[in-house]
Structure 1
Protein backbone atom coordinates (compact mmCIF):
# COMPACT_ATOMS: atom_id res chain seq x y z
CA UNK A 1 0.00 0.00 0.00
CA UNK A 2 1.09 3.56 -0.74
CA UNK A 3 0.07 6.28 1.70
CA UNK A 4 0.45 9.90 0.63
CA UNK A 5 0.23 12.52 3.35
CA UNK A 6 -0.57 15.95 1.87
CA UNK A 7 -0.60 18.92 4.21
CA UNK A 8 -3.01 21.66 3.21
CA UNK A 9 -1.46 24.67 1.50
CA UNK A 10 -1.00 28.11 3.09
CA UNK A 11 -4.22 29.52 4.54
CA UNK A 12 -5.33 32.89 5.83
CA UNK A 13 -4.58 33.59 9.48
CA UNK A 14 -8.04 34.80 10.49
CA UNK A 15 -11.53 33.56 9.65
CA UNK A 16 -14.89 33.05 11.33
CA UNK A 17 -13.50 29.75 12.70
CA UNK A 18 -10.31 27.76 12.29
CA UNK A 19 -12.11 25.24 10.08
CA UNK A 20 -13.33 28.07 7.81
CA UNK A 21 -9.87 29.43 6.97
CA UNK A 22 -9.41 29.74 3.20
CA UNK A 23 -6.28 29.32 1.09
CA UNK A 24 -4.30 32.46 0.33
CA UNK A 25 -3.19 33.31 -3.22
CA UNK A 26 0.17 31.74 -2.38
CA UNK A 27 -1.64 28.70 -0.95
CA UNK A 28 -3.61 28.21 -4.17
CA UNK A 29 -0.32 28.26 -6.13
CA UNK A 30 1.22 25.75 -3.70
CA UNK A 31 -1.76 23.42 -4.05
CA UNK A 32 -1.69 23.68 -7.84
CA UNK A 33 2.04 22.88 -7.97
CA UNK A 34 1.68 19.72 -5.89
CA UNK A 35 -1.52 18.75 -7.73
CA UNK A 36 0.36 18.94 -11.03
CA UNK A 37 3.16 16.78 -9.57
CA UNK A 38 0.66 14.22 -8.19
CA UNK A 39 -1.37 14.08 -11.42
CA UNK A 40 1.69 12.75 -13.23
CA UNK A 41 2.21 10.00 -10.64
CA UNK A 42 -1.05 8.92 -9.01
CA UNK A 43 -2.73 5.78 -10.29
CA UNK A 44 -6.27 6.37 -11.57
CA UNK A 45 -7.78 4.28 -8.75
CA UNK A 46 -6.16 6.23 -5.89
CA UNK A 47 -8.53 6.90 -3.00
CA UNK A 48 -8.42 10.50 -1.77
CA UNK A 49 -9.63 11.46 1.72
CA UNK A 50 -9.64 14.97 3.17
CA UNK A 51 -10.35 16.75 6.41
CA UNK A 52 -13.61 18.73 6.18
CA UNK A 53 -11.78 22.04 6.87
CA UNK A 54 -12.12 24.59 4.07
CA UNK A 55 -8.37 24.81 3.45
CA UNK A 56 -7.97 21.04 2.99
CA UNK A 57 -10.97 20.89 0.66
CA UNK A 58 -9.55 23.75 -1.41
CA UNK A 59 -6.16 22.03 -1.49
CA UNK A 60 -7.55 18.70 -2.73
CA UNK A 61 -9.85 20.39 -5.25
CA UNK A 62 -6.76 21.68 -7.04
CA UNK A 63 -6.17 18.00 -7.89
CA UNK A 64 -9.64 16.51 -8.37
CA UNK A 65 -13.30 16.59 -7.44
CA UNK A 66 -13.17 12.82 -6.76
CA UNK A 67 -12.49 12.76 -3.02
CA UNK A 68 -14.30 12.16 0.26
CA UNK A 69 -14.24 14.35 3.33
CA UNK A 70 -13.82 12.34 6.53
CA UNK A 71 -14.81 13.89 9.86
CA UNK A 72 -12.23 11.85 11.77
CA UNK A 73 -9.46 13.66 9.82
CA UNK A 74 -10.53 17.10 11.11
CA UNK A 75 -8.30 19.50 13.00
CA UNK A 76 -6.66 17.91 16.01
CA UNK A 77 -7.19 14.35 14.80
CA UNK A 78 -4.92 11.78 16.42
CA UNK A 79 -2.45 9.94 14.16
CA UNK A 80 -4.45 6.73 14.69
CA UNK A 81 -7.42 8.36 12.91
CA UNK A 82 -5.34 8.85 9.76
CA UNK A 83 -4.10 5.27 9.80
CA UNK A 84 -7.62 3.96 10.44
CA UNK A 85 -9.14 6.05 7.63
CA UNK A 86 -6.50 4.75 5.20
CA UNK A 87 -6.75 1.21 6.66
CA UNK A 88 -2.96 1.15 6.97
CA UNK A 89 -1.13 -1.09 6.17
CA UNK A 90 -3.59 -3.31 4.25
CA UNK A 91 -5.12 -0.32 2.49
CA UNK A 92 -8.52 1.11 1.74
CA UNK A 93 -7.03 1.10 -1.80
CA UNK A 94 -3.57 0.39 -3.18
CA UNK A 95 -2.88 4.14 -3.01
CA UNK A 96 -4.53 6.42 -0.43
CA UNK A 97 -4.01 10.17 -0.28
CA UNK A 98 -4.80 11.91 3.03
CA UNK A 99 -5.15 15.70 2.90
CA UNK A 100 -4.88 17.02 6.41
CA UNK A 101 -3.20 19.09 9.09
CA UNK A 102 -0.19 19.51 11.30
CA UNK A 103 0.79 18.23 13.78
CA UNK A 104 -1.20 15.09 12.89
CA UNK A 105 0.46 14.37 9.55
CA UNK A 106 3.96 14.90 10.95
CA UNK A 107 3.19 12.51 13.79
CA UNK A 108 1.94 9.91 11.30
CA UNK A 109 5.06 10.22 9.13
CA UNK A 110 7.36 9.95 12.16
CA UNK A 111 5.45 6.97 13.59
CA UNK A 112 5.61 5.05 10.33
CA UNK A 113 9.25 5.85 9.53
CA UNK A 114 10.82 5.67 13.00
CA UNK A 115 8.28 3.80 15.11
CA UNK A 116 7.97 6.80 17.47
CA UNK A 117 5.34 9.57 17.44
CA UNK A 118 7.85 12.43 17.17
CA UNK A 119 6.54 15.85 16.13
CA UNK A 120 7.96 16.18 12.62
CA UNK A 121 7.02 19.25 10.63
CA UNK A 122 5.55 18.85 7.18
CA UNK A 123 5.77 22.08 5.19
CA UNK A 124 2.51 23.69 4.07
CA UNK A 125 1.37 22.16 0.81
CA UNK A 126 4.00 19.38 0.88
CA UNK A 127 3.52 15.65 0.36
CA UNK A 128 5.16 12.64 1.96
CA UNK A 129 4.73 9.46 -0.09
CA UNK A 130 5.20 6.34 2.02
CA UNK A 131 4.80 2.68 1.13
CA UNK A 132 4.35 -0.44 3.26
CA UNK A 133 6.57 -3.30 2.20
CA UNK A 134 5.52 -6.69 3.57
CA UNK A 135 8.24 -8.51 1.65
CA UNK A 136 10.81 -6.87 3.94
CA UNK A 137 8.91 -7.93 7.03
CA UNK A 138 5.91 -6.48 8.86
CA UNK A 139 6.14 -2.80 9.69
CA UNK A 140 8.75 -1.98 7.05
CA UNK A 141 8.08 1.43 5.50
CA UNK A 142 9.72 2.91 2.43
CA UNK A 143 9.85 6.69 1.91
CA UNK A 144 9.16 7.03 -1.83
CA UNK A 145 9.14 10.85 -2.01
CA UNK A 146 9.02 14.03 0.03
CA UNK A 147 8.14 17.05 -2.11
CA UNK A 148 7.42 20.63 -1.13
CA UNK A 149 5.52 22.99 -3.43
CA UNK A 150 8.61 25.02 -4.29
CA UNK A 151 10.29 21.84 -5.64
CA UNK A 152 7.30 20.37 -7.50
Structure 2
Protein backbone atom coordinates (compact mmCIF):
# COMPACT_ATOMS: atom_id res chain seq x y z
CA UNK A 1 0.00 0.00 0.00
CA UNK A 2 1.01 3.58 -0.55
CA UNK A 3 -0.17 6.22 1.85
CA UNK A 4 0.10 9.94 1.35
CA UNK A 5 -0.38 12.23 4.33
CA UNK A 6 -1.29 15.84 3.59
CA UNK A 7 -1.48 18.54 6.20
CA UNK A 8 -4.19 21.10 5.40
CA UNK A 9 -3.17 24.39 3.80
CA UNK A 10 -2.68 27.63 5.70
CA UNK A 11 -5.85 28.50 7.63
CA UNK A 12 -7.33 31.58 9.25
CA UNK A 13 -5.91 32.38 12.66
CA UNK A 14 -9.32 32.88 14.20
CA UNK A 15 -12.80 31.45 13.93
CA UNK A 16 -15.61 30.67 16.34
CA UNK A 17 -14.00 27.27 16.99
CA UNK A 18 -10.78 25.62 15.82
CA UNK A 19 -12.83 23.16 13.76
CA UNK A 20 -14.39 26.05 11.79
CA UNK A 21 -11.15 27.71 10.63
CA UNK A 22 -11.13 28.07 6.83
CA UNK A 23 -8.27 28.04 4.33
CA UNK A 24 -6.74 31.36 3.34
CA UNK A 25 -6.03 32.26 -0.31
CA UNK A 26 -2.39 31.31 0.33
CA UNK A 27 -3.56 28.02 1.86
CA UNK A 28 -5.55 27.17 -1.26
CA UNK A 29 -2.49 27.88 -3.44
CA UNK A 30 -0.32 25.67 -1.19
CA UNK A 31 -2.81 22.81 -1.48
CA UNK A 32 -2.90 23.02 -5.28
CA UNK A 33 0.92 22.93 -5.37
CA UNK A 34 0.89 19.75 -3.28
CA UNK A 35 -1.98 18.26 -5.31
CA UNK A 36 0.19 18.48 -8.43
CA UNK A 37 2.52 15.88 -6.87
CA UNK A 38 -0.39 13.45 -6.68
CA UNK A 39 -1.23 13.61 -10.39
CA UNK A 40 -1.23 10.15 -11.95
CA UNK A 41 -1.08 8.38 -8.59
CA UNK A 42 -3.45 5.42 -8.21
CA UNK A 43 -5.39 6.83 -5.26
CA UNK A 44 -8.37 4.77 -4.21
CA UNK A 45 -9.44 6.85 -1.21
CA UNK A 46 -9.22 10.45 -0.03
CA UNK A 47 -9.91 10.40 3.71
CA UNK A 48 -10.19 13.63 5.67
CA UNK A 49 -10.77 15.15 9.08
CA UNK A 50 -14.19 16.73 9.59
CA UNK A 51 -12.59 20.14 10.35
CA UNK A 52 -13.43 22.78 7.73
CA UNK A 53 -9.82 23.46 6.63
CA UNK A 54 -9.18 19.74 6.07
CA UNK A 55 -12.45 19.34 4.19
CA UNK A 56 -11.57 22.30 1.97
CA UNK A 57 -8.08 20.88 1.39
CA UNK A 58 -9.42 17.43 0.49
CA UNK A 59 -12.00 18.89 -1.88
CA UNK A 60 -9.39 21.03 -3.66
CA UNK A 61 -7.22 17.94 -4.15
CA UNK A 62 -10.20 15.88 -5.32
CA UNK A 63 -11.10 18.50 -7.93
CA UNK A 64 -7.50 19.04 -9.06
CA UNK A 65 -7.03 15.29 -9.61
CA UNK A 66 -10.43 14.78 -11.22
CA UNK A 67 -11.04 12.15 -8.53
CA UNK A 68 -14.52 10.74 -9.16
CA UNK A 69 -15.35 9.42 -5.69
CA UNK A 70 -16.38 11.54 -2.72
CA UNK A 71 -14.04 12.45 0.10
CA UNK A 72 -14.51 10.09 3.06
CA UNK A 73 -14.87 12.08 6.29
CA UNK A 74 -13.81 10.30 9.49
CA UNK A 75 -13.68 11.44 13.13
CA UNK A 76 -10.28 9.78 13.71
CA UNK A 77 -8.19 12.35 11.77
CA UNK A 78 -8.61 15.38 14.06
CA UNK A 79 -5.54 17.16 15.51
CA UNK A 80 -5.44 15.39 18.87
CA UNK A 81 -6.29 11.85 17.75
CA UNK A 82 -3.89 9.15 18.96
CA UNK A 83 -1.83 8.07 15.90
CA UNK A 84 -2.18 4.43 16.98
CA UNK A 85 -5.94 4.76 16.48
CA UNK A 86 -5.35 6.02 12.93
CA UNK A 87 -3.19 3.00 12.07
CA UNK A 88 -5.86 0.68 13.51
CA UNK A 89 -8.54 2.33 11.39
CA UNK A 90 -6.37 2.11 8.27
CA UNK A 91 -6.66 -1.69 8.39
CA UNK A 92 -9.90 -1.20 6.45
CA UNK A 93 -7.93 0.41 3.61
CA UNK A 94 -4.73 -1.68 3.78
CA UNK A 95 -5.03 -3.08 0.27
CA UNK A 96 -5.53 0.35 -1.33
CA UNK A 97 -3.57 3.55 -1.92
CA UNK A 98 -4.92 6.32 0.31
CA UNK A 99 -4.53 10.03 0.91
CA UNK A 100 -5.09 11.21 4.47
CA UNK A 101 -5.85 14.91 5.00
CA UNK A 102 -5.36 16.06 8.56
CA UNK A 103 -3.59 18.40 11.00
CA UNK A 104 -0.58 18.84 13.20
CA UNK A 105 0.32 17.43 15.64
CA UNK A 106 -1.36 14.28 14.32
CA UNK A 107 0.30 14.12 10.89
CA UNK A 108 3.85 14.44 12.24
CA UNK A 109 3.23 11.93 15.02
CA UNK A 110 1.55 9.51 12.64
CA UNK A 111 4.51 9.56 10.26
CA UNK A 112 6.91 9.04 13.16
CA UNK A 113 4.88 6.11 14.49
CA UNK A 114 4.50 4.49 11.07
CA UNK A 115 8.21 4.77 10.24
CA UNK A 116 9.99 4.55 13.61
CA UNK A 117 7.43 2.67 15.69
CA UNK A 118 7.25 5.32 18.41
CA UNK A 119 5.79 8.75 19.09
CA UNK A 120 9.10 10.42 19.99
CA UNK A 121 10.29 11.03 16.41
CA UNK A 122 7.53 13.14 14.86
CA UNK A 123 8.08 14.45 11.33
CA UNK A 124 7.94 18.25 11.04
CA UNK A 125 5.13 19.11 8.60
CA UNK A 126 4.46 22.60 7.23
CA UNK A 127 1.03 23.61 5.97
CA UNK A 128 0.16 21.62 2.83
CA UNK A 129 3.20 19.39 3.46
CA UNK A 130 2.81 16.05 1.69
CA UNK A 131 4.46 12.84 2.90
CA UNK A 132 4.59 9.60 0.92
CA UNK A 133 4.87 6.29 2.77
CA UNK A 134 4.73 2.69 1.63
CA UNK A 135 4.44 -0.74 3.20
CA UNK A 136 2.63 -4.02 2.87
CA UNK A 137 0.42 -3.06 5.82
CA UNK A 138 -0.07 0.15 7.85
CA UNK A 139 1.77 -1.00 10.98
CA UNK A 140 3.82 0.94 13.52
CA UNK A 141 7.48 0.86 12.53
CA UNK A 142 6.78 -1.09 9.33
CA UNK A 143 6.35 1.75 6.83
CA UNK A 144 9.03 3.43 4.74
CA UNK A 145 9.05 7.19 4.34
CA UNK A 146 9.61 7.71 0.61
CA UNK A 147 9.73 11.48 0.90
CA UNK A 148 8.20 14.71 2.16
CA UNK A 149 7.40 17.74 0.01
CA UNK A 150 6.61 21.19 1.32
CA UNK A 151 5.16 23.84 -0.99
CA UNK A 152 7.19 26.98 -1.60
Task: Name the TM-score class by shorter chain.
Answer: 0.7 to 0.9
Q: Cα deviation per residue 1:4-53 (whole Å; 9 max; x = unaligned)?
A: 1111111010001100000011100001111122123x21x521100000
- Return the offset for 1:56: 0.3
Number of matched pairs: 143
Distance apart, 1:139 and its partner CA:
5.0
Q: Does 1:101 align with 2:103?
A: yes
The equivalent of 2:118 in structure 1 is 116
Alignment of 1:2-151 (within 5 A): 2-40=2-40, 42-43=41-42, 45-64=43-62, 66-87=70-91, 91=94, 93-118=95-120, 119-133=122-136, 139-150=141-152
Unpaired runs of 5+ residues, structure 2, are 64-69
**Root mean square deviation of aligned Cα:** 2.0
Q: Do 2:116 and 2:141's aligned partners in 1 also have CA atoms closer than 8 Å?
A: no
Please give the alpha-carbon distance, in whole angstroms, between the structure 2 residues aligned to 1:6 and 1:49: 10
1:125 and 1:31 map into 2 onto residues whose CA distance is: 5
Using the TM superposition, give the Cα deviation of residue 62 of structure 1 relative to its aligned residue in structure 2, in angstroms: 1.0
User: Aligned equivalents of 1:68 and 1:2: distance in 2?
Assistant: 17
